[in-house]
Amino acid sequence: MADMKIGAYICKGCGLGERLDCDELATIAQRDGKAQVVQQHDFLCSAEGVKMIQADIDNEGINRVVIGACSRRAKTEAFNFQNVTISRANLREGVIWIRPDEDDLRETTQEMAADYIRMGCAEAKHSTVPASEQEKGSNDTILVVGGGITGMTAAIEAAKTGYPVHIVEKTGSLGGYAGKMWKDVPMHSPYTDPVDTPVTKLIAEVEADSRITVHLNATISKTSGAPGRFSADISTESGATTTENFGAIIQASGATPYDASQLPELGYGKSKDVVDRVELEQLAIAANGGPIKRPSDGKEVKKVTFIQCAGQRSDKEGHLNYCSGDCCLTSIKQAMYFKDQNPDIETEILFDDLRTPGAPGEDFYRSGQDKLVTFRKGKVSEVVAGSNGPLVRFKDMILDEDVEEEADLVVLATGMVANSGVDIDAVPQNEPGEWEVSVDSILNLNYRQGKDLPHLKYGFNDSHFICFPYETRRTGIYTCGPVRRPMDTQQAIDDATGATLKAIQEIENAKVGRAAHPRSGDLSYPIFRKEGCTQCKRCTVECPFGAIDEDEKRFPVFNESRCRRCGTCMGACPVRVISFENYSCDTVGQQIKNVDIPDEFDEKPRILVLACENDAYPALDMAAQQGVSYSQFARIIPVRCLGSVNTIWVTDALNSGYDGIILMGCQKGDDYQCHFVKGSEMANVRMSKVDDTLETLSLEKERVETYEIAITDIERAPKLINDMAEAVEKMGMSPFKF
């Protein structure tokens, strides 16, 4: 780091020149920030301004650029210099826009700007230019796990784009669940009649494509590696195992129908004429367009009753808590099997809430009504044996009366259970060096954190349904189809296409050694100083993405390409041996230390805000754009994720005399909004332990607060800062000022 050369550039545009004393800021950059070159410019982001900076980089050897202008989120294209680090002192959104332009406030506004310049220079001093990760992968092949509609679509889409694919299918044939259906809900207008499933067409396409290799009766007995260089052992039933290399993995393992034998109260298992929806498909296939016959005595069905939400949307033990999303459409379709064959057959659908999502939705429901399928809002209490067939007892919720009806056949609309492998949070993991194959696992990953993808709710694989549906918590492995949420065939097909695009993106990024998501293009990766490590395992346990393994001596083994660059490991490390080239305990710690702390009697407290750069920091920027103001005593430092906040920063800040500290992260829990899934949760756990620190320092608990901030909290985020300023005023200044 001998040839480090800082260049500080102060912009006078956007009103900065009028509101701030830029000459003083330049002096501070030179004197406190130790910048070798300091320049001011009237319009820094103009072509001229940018040229000025570039000239210094080329001629003066500047390799640490500090820009004192607008927020780091603005003008990123103008201030995009290669092979240097860039630090942004946020003078516009962070200072002049959030402070009123009044004469008696000029002094504190100027102090704010001065601190941001010092912080920018401090960050520059402790950053280095990131080189891309060393473990580049170059494999183009995609592994698709599961040969149902979802898997086949993913394979076809990938192959069409030119990427070779291997499909691994557990059973002896392609087609999956949809392959067992007689007909499907229509996917195109007019949404009136059941149509053929796309299975036959998809199988033909898969078989005709030379880029797709299919492994039938096969499972995956081991997966290792990282994006761009995965290796998977594919074992067939016969015992043979082949090892193939892949760039990315798409898990399309689908769902299994709920086991209806858990529903004896609905007559399943007691009467042969109570069937689940899969068995009805089989009856329809057997009838092949002719009259459907009931299983017990082969009598042609004249009256059929469908019971919706069978074993679903219920809190009862063994039942599914959730709605499987496609059963209403499926029952309408199955009722049409009867009506289309003979309109005189009575078909009744007993529903609780009729839900028909997706493209066919209401139109298909209308078509069912048009064909005189009877829809009745009824809560079924039991199905018992009647004189001529099953007798359904239910309460009509509209007419508010108890009804008994006999039918020839009763169909239970059962839900879907995700095939998501083992729940790694519930099953103990193999110790390093003692890894074993699990028959229940889908992927058999040899990762330290477990063999399968983490589950979120109800056994479905983790997936953020708005922000990142396909990205799992294992980089380079994508889920699609009913394994990540209940869905019908059309949705599964769309889903497969999306996941395939993500997989391709990952492969291409892995080739150049950069992050794909969500810090797209980031070249930094965690650097680990093994000599200092105490083998505490916190990083391996807390990494939300299972990127860190352990060697047999329990030292962490970082897998750079599996990393999402959130820094949760850095925040977890008690001995601070993990860092990124441009983001480390020092780059933030030094910013904290370089803020000027006036002494106790100046009545100028200092409030440190560590704001998540994904939501909280933009919210504060937008607050500035809208003219909301917050305390002149706040100093805001963006962090990659609240998970990357190391408690040392909090301790250091308290020790150096900060009066209040606010941590702003994203929502945690099942409905998390954290871009790194577990980051804000981890931070919350760690911060709950900060109370002890505060106690040792005899400081009030209220001096450190953690908040969940959404990007829309434009009013709330500044208010929380002001609340802290008020609280500090009440509590009095910190006694730790020197």
Termini Cα distance of the chain? 31
Stretch that binds other proteins, among 94-102, 218-226, 369-377, 646-654 (CB under 8 A): 369-377
Long-range interactions of 200-209: CB distance < 8 A, separation 24+: 202/149, 202/152, 202/153, 202/156, 202/174, 203/152, 203/174, 203/175, 205/152, 205/156, 206/152, 206/155, 206/156, 206/167, 206/174, 209/155, 209/156, 209/159
Tell me the closest approach of the beta carbon of residue 399 to other proteins, in angstroms: 6
Written as one letter, the residue type at 211 is R
Q: Among 55, 105, 131, 399, which residue interacts with other proteins (rule: CB under 8 A)?
A: 399
Alpha helices of 519-573 — where are they, by DSSP H?
A: 538-542, 568-572
Interacting residues of 247 by C-beta distance below 8 A, sequence separation 6+: 137, 138, 139, 140, 141, 142, 163, 227, 228, 229, 230, 476, 503, 506, 507, 510
How far from the centroid of its chain's Cα atoms is residue 554's Cα?
Answer: 29
Q: Is 258 in the site for other proteins (CB under 8 A)?
A: no
* 265 versus 396: smaller Cβ distance to other proteins: 396
* 131 versus 372: smaller Cβ distance to other proteins: 372
Q: Is 377 in the site for other proteins (CB under 8 A)?
A: yes
Q: Is 388 in the site for other proteins (CB under 8 A)?
A: no
DSSP symbols for 120-146: HHHHHHT--PPPPPS-------EEEE-
* 209 versus 346: smaller Cβ distance to other proteins: 346
* 142 versus 345: smaller Cβ distance to other proteins: 345
Tell me the closest approach of the beta carbon of residue 493 to other proteins, in angstroms: 28
Count of residues in the chain: 738
Tell me the closest approach of the beta carbon of residue 312 to other proteins, in angstroms: 20
Q: Is 403 in the site for other proteins (CB under 8 A)?
A: yes
Interacting residues of 325 by C-beta distance below 8 A, sequence separation 6+: 355, 357, 485, 486, 487, 488
* 182 versus 375: smaller Cβ distance to other proteins: 375
Paired tokens of 363: 């139109």
Tell me the closest approach of the beta carbon of residue 375 to other proteins, in angstroms: 7
Number of residues that bind other proteins (CB under 8 A): 14
Stretch that binds other proteins, among 216-224, 230-238, 365-373, 382-390 (CB under 8 A): 365-373
* 369 versus 696: smaller Cβ distance to other proteins: 369
Q: Among 372, 467, 512, 685, which residue interacts with other proteins (rule: CB under 8 A)?
A: 372
Q: Among 300, 396, 581, 700, which residue interacts with other proteins (rule: CB under 8 A)?
A: 396
Of residues 699, 684, 689, the one with CA closest to residue 733: 699
Long-range interactions of 95-104: CB distance < 8 A, separation 24+: 95/19, 95/20, 96/14, 96/15, 96/16, 96/19, 96/20, 97/624, 97/625, 97/627, 98/620, 98/623, 98/624, 98/628, 98/629, 98/630, 98/718, 99/629, 99/632, 100/629, 101/19
What residues from 685 to 704 belong to the interface with other proteins (CB under 8 A)? none
Q: Is 365 in the site for other proteins (CB under 8 A)?
A: yes
Paired tokens of 316: 């009862």
Q: Is 370 in the site for other proteins (CB under 8 A)?
A: yes
* 143 versus 392: smaller Cβ distance to other proteins: 392
**Which secondary-structure segment (H or E) carries 150?**
helix 149-160
Tell me the closest approach of the beta carbon of residue 398 to other proteins, in angstroms: 4
What residues from 492 to 531 belong to the interface with other proteins (CB under 8 A)? none
Q: Among 241, 256, 369, 520, which residue interacts with other proteins (rule: CB under 8 A)?
A: 369
Q: Is 366 in the site for other proteins (CB under 8 A)?
A: yes
Q: Is 364 in the site for other proteins (CB under 8 A)?
A: no
Tell me the closest approach of the beta carbon of residue 314 to other proteins, in angstroms: 21
Q: Is 557 in the site for other proteins (CB under 8 A)?
A: no
Tell me the closest approach of the beta carbon of residue 521 to other proteins, in angstroms: 47
CA atoms within 13 A on the CB side of 180: 12
What residues from 210 to 229 belong to the interface with other proteins (CB under 8 A)? none
Stretch that binds other proteins, among 4-12, 375-383, 509-517, 560-568 (CB under 8 A): 375-383
Stretch that binds other proteins, among 172-180, 233-241, 362-370, 605-613 (CB under 8 A): 362-370
Three-state SS for 220? strand
Tell me the closest approach of the beta carbon of residue 174 to other proteins, in angstroms: 38
Q: Among 161, 242, 256, 374, which residue interacts with other proteins (rule: CB under 8 A)?
A: 374
Tell me the closest approach of the beta carbon of residue 618 to other proteins, in angstroms: 39
Tell me the closest approach of the beta carbon of residue 308 to other proteins, in angstroms: 13
Q: Among 79, 246, 306, 375, which residue interacts with other proteins (rule: CB under 8 A)?
A: 375
Interacting residues of 502 by C-beta distance below 8 A, sequence separation 6+: 470, 471, 478, 517
Tell me the closest approach of the beta carbon of residue 376 to other proteins, in angstroms: 7
* 24 versus 370: smaller Cβ distance to other proteins: 370
Stretch that binds other proteins, among 364-372, 538-546, 652-660, 688-696 (CB under 8 A): 364-372
Paired tokens of 614: 């994904």
Q: Is 398 in the site for other proteins (CB under 8 A)?
A: yes
Q: Is 340 in the site for other proteins (CB under 8 A)?
A: no
Tell me how far apart the alpha carbons of residues 465 and 542 are, in angstroms, rounded to a whole number. 23
Tell me how far apart the alpha carbons of residues 325 and 334 are, in angstroms, rounded to a whole number. 16
Classify the C-alpha dihedral 585-586-588-590 as positive or negative.
positive
Q: How many CB atoms are closer than 10 A to CB 395?
A: 15
Tell me the closest approach of the beta carbon of residue 190 to other proteins, in angstroms: 16
Tell me the closest approach of the beta carbon of residue 324 to other proteins, in angstroms: 21
Tell me the closest approach of the beta carbon of residue 351 to other proteins, in angstroms: 9
Long-range interactions of 107-113: CB distance < 8 A, separation 24+: 108/604, 108/632, 108/633, 109/19, 109/20, 109/632, 110/20, 110/21, 110/24, 111/596, 111/604, 111/632, 112/632, 112/635, 113/20, 113/25, 113/68, 113/89
Tell me the closest approach of the beta carbon of residue 367 to other proteins, in angstroms: 10
Binding interface with other proteins (CB under 8 A): 354, 365-366, 369-370, 372, 374-377, 396, 398-399, 403
